[in-house]
Amino acid sequence: MRNYSMVQTLIIANVVAFFLTSAGTSDLAFRLGALWPLGFNFMPWQVVTYAFLHANVMHLIFNMFGLWMFGRELEALLGGRRFMQLYFASVLSAAAMQLLVDSMTGGVFPTVGASGGIFGLLLAYGLFFPNRLVMLLIPPLPMPARVFVVLYAGLELFLGVTGTEAGVAHFAHLGGMIGAYLVLRRRRGRWR
């Protein structure tokens, strides 16, 4: 029997969840599993389950690519258990940030996707591998990971504050980064 890494396990779980919810049960799955604002179908388990649901195949592909790209090296560095702690701390803090923003803005729409966890991994990647070159897709431009992380966080903050790209949970992405930072800061020195 083959041993799977935590990254592979998360990718398989997300792909399986996508196909299960695409098989005619998507309304029920989204009503029960998506992260709904407090007072609008919210259930406590949604702070985790939303990270396994995706709006469409491109949403899934981009998130799984980010998980694979940044997660493999982080898992190799941290080990499976610590990697999962980092990932799920990011998922939970992304959910908390989204719930906070929704309560402040009166948002009534559900949130889905692994992006909060991926953004936490991205921040950790930039901290552990600051000089590693990351290649942007459009335009194809190489830059150090730490620069990529700072620019991407700044872009997410700008898009969130301006309300650009409606339907994207920009503040959840930033919440994932905050969760990763807090976990890494608290455990600094013990994770290397």
**What is the DSSP secondary-structure string of 22-80?**
HTT-HHHHHHHHSBPPTTTT--TTHHHHGGG--SSHHHHHHHHHHHHHHHHHHHHHH-H
Per-residue confidence (pLDDT) for residue 134, from 0 to 100 = 87
Homologous superfamily (CATH) for 6-186: Rhomboid-like (1.20.1540.10)
The DSSP code for 110 is: -
- Collapsing DSSP to helix, strand or coil, 147 comes out as helix
Amino acid letter, 76? A
Query: pTM of the entire structure?
Result: 0.90
Looking at residue 1, what is its pLDDT? 44
* Mean pLDDT, each 10-residue run in order, the chain (192 residues): 80 90 72 86 90 90 94 94 95 94 85 94 95 83 91 89 81 94 79 52
Enumerate the domain spans of the chain: 6-186
What DSSP state is assigned to residue 159?
H
162: left (phi over 0), alpha (psi -120 to 50) or beta: alpha
